Structure 1
């Protein structure tokens, strides 16, 4: 069971890193396109008048996705609080304590995912759209819900690895 949990965690971490990286690249592309088109418009006194509509909105939603995916990808590496309390404990006890601590993140991710799924259903039902681009908020909330569920799942996997097996949460990802 332990190799299965480790393999599932590695695979999910890889997916989350790809999502976070893709969102960061898209954020960079939108920002560069917005700056270049504004500069061209200013440089040509309005003769060239291209504009990236909704760039702030796009960047903000991409940032949301990037942050959720990055949190999910690195859940086992980012818990400094437990180390402040457990730095003198034996490694297996510290790993078990860290596993119990990650259960809280699993619950947090589950609550976020549940709330976002409810928000997505309400957004679709009432036709809620974004302010600038008029994109339906339902799919945006669903993507955020999936990424929050991945946070919950990876936290739960590492909580099980730590609490049941006493294994350090720092798992090598082999890349």
Structure 2
């Protein structure tokens, strides 16, 4: 069980790195695009510089950052409604949280399979992005991997929450 927790933490760190890099890229593209539009406006149209494909870049970087952040924070992302769980023991709350995570397992798995199928179709058809002509298959494949990580981490934490919850609350590490 400690090995599962360790692997899950390492996967969370990797996902946070991906999310952070994607957000930095997204912000970089946005800032450069805004500055170049400002230069265009200030020059009266003489300097027609722009970031080609900025909308595409922002779209896919946002997708990667959201999927990676979801996968990184599955164990912390639940909202507990105190009105419903007020009288429950901490162990029962932990088990209910674990059962709730099964939904994320299903969601992540369905999204991963769907994106992988889209990657296969995009590869067969030679689909590329509209502006930058980037092949779509690797974009879908990377999204599928991030969704699979969401499903995997949710499964690990669902198991830890439902199977290994102790009566004092929290997960038993013994």
Q: TM-score over 0.5 for the alignment?
A: yes
- Aligned match of 1:113: 112
How far residue 158 of structure 1 moved from its aligned partner, in angstroms, is 0.2
Distance change >3 Å, CA 82–CA 10, structure 1 → 2: farther
Map 1:10-159 → 2, pairs under 5 A = 10-80=9-79, 85-159=84-158
Q: Structure 1, residues 136-159: CA drift from partner, whole Å, max 9, x if none?
A: 110110010000001001100100
Counterpart Cα distance in 2 of 1:58 and 1:88: 48
- Aligned match of 1:173: none
TM-score, normalising length: structure 1? 0.90
Counterpart Cα distance in 2 of 1:158 and 1:169: 12
Q: Which runs of 5+ in 2 are unaligned?
A: none
Q: Which runs of 5+ in 1 are unaligned?
A: 171-175
Counterpart Cα distance in 2 of 1:120 and 1:15: 22
Counterpart Cα distance in 1 of 2:111 and 2:78: 19
Distance change >3 Å, CA 161–CA 18, structure 1 → 2: same
- Root-mean-square deviation over aligned CA pairs: 1.7
Match of 1:76, SS?
Answer: helix
TM-score, normalising length: structure 2? 0.91
Q: Structure 1, residues 92-120: CA drift from partner, whole Å, max 9, x if none?
A: 11111111111111111011101110000
How far residue 83 of structure 1 moved from its aligned partner, in angstroms, is 5.7
Counterpart contact for 2:12–2:73, Cα < 8 Å: yes
1:8 aligns with 2:7: yes
Match of 1:52, SS?
Answer: coil
Counterpart Cα distance in 2 of 1:62 and 1:87: 40
How far residue 87 of structure 1 moved from its aligned partner, in angstroms, is 3.4
Distance change >3 Å, CA 126–CA 76, structure 1 → 2: same
